[in-house]
Amino acid sequence: MFEGSTGGKPLNRLIVGMAPAPDGKGYWLVASDGGIFAFGNAQFFGSTGNLQLRRPIVGMAAAPDGGGYWLVASDGGIFSFGSAGFHGSTGGIRLNSPIVAMAATSDGKGYWLTAADGGIFAFGNAAFYGSRA
């Protein structure tokens, strides 16, 4: 269901990711500077829009309870907001390819990061099943 957009609004950076609210009645958009735009019943829990980031934000995932979200930067840096807990990152590791996406576990106690070369990085209770890299 359409709940709104940033169309027609001036943005500091381009939108690079989206996550649905667990009940399907809202969603978040994230810009490459970490600016968050909440629509429908998705609530705002914070952003990195006012921080100087080492690398741009490339994606996000919603906490299963709808009470928070994670942002991921291309170096694998993780930014946790609301009920989304921090379970680790690749922010301090030299990567062969940049991180391009993330996904949370069904209980929110872990997440996976995906690199452009197919590498997978598992944190918290996210199990590692192999990767293409």
Nearest CA among 91, 113, 89 for reference residue 103: 113
Nearest CA among 101, 94, 108 for reference residue 73: 101
Instruction: Report pLDDT for 85.
Output: 98
- Spatial separation of the C-alpha atoms in residues 83 and 100, rounded to whole Å: 23
* Rounded average pLDDT over 41-66: 96
76 pLDDT higher than 90: yes
End-to-end alpha carbon distance in the chain: 37
3-state helix, strand, coil in the chain (%, to 5): 0, 40, 60
Instruction: Report pLDDT for 96.
Output: 96
pLDDT tens per residue across span 9-42: 888 899 999 999 999 999 999 999 999 999 999 9
Q: Which residue has the higher pLDDT, 4 or 49?
A: 49
Query: For residue 15, what are the CA distances in angstroms to 36, 38, 59, 79, 122?
Result: 9, 12, 9, 17, 25
Query: What six digits make up the tokens of 76?
Result: 């694998």
- Spatial separation of the C-alpha atoms in residues 51 and 58, rounded to whole Å: 15
pLDDT tens per residue across span 105-117: 999 999 999 999 9
Contact at 8 Å (CB) between 104 and 63? yes
Q: Which residue has the higher pLDDT, 6 or 119?
A: 119
Report the predicted TM-score, pTM, of the whole model to 2 decimal places.
Answer: 0.93
Q: Which residues contact 50 (CB under 8 A, 6 or more apart)?
A: none
52 pLDDT higher than 80: yes
pLDDT tens per residue across span 80-101: 999 999 999 998 899 999 999 9
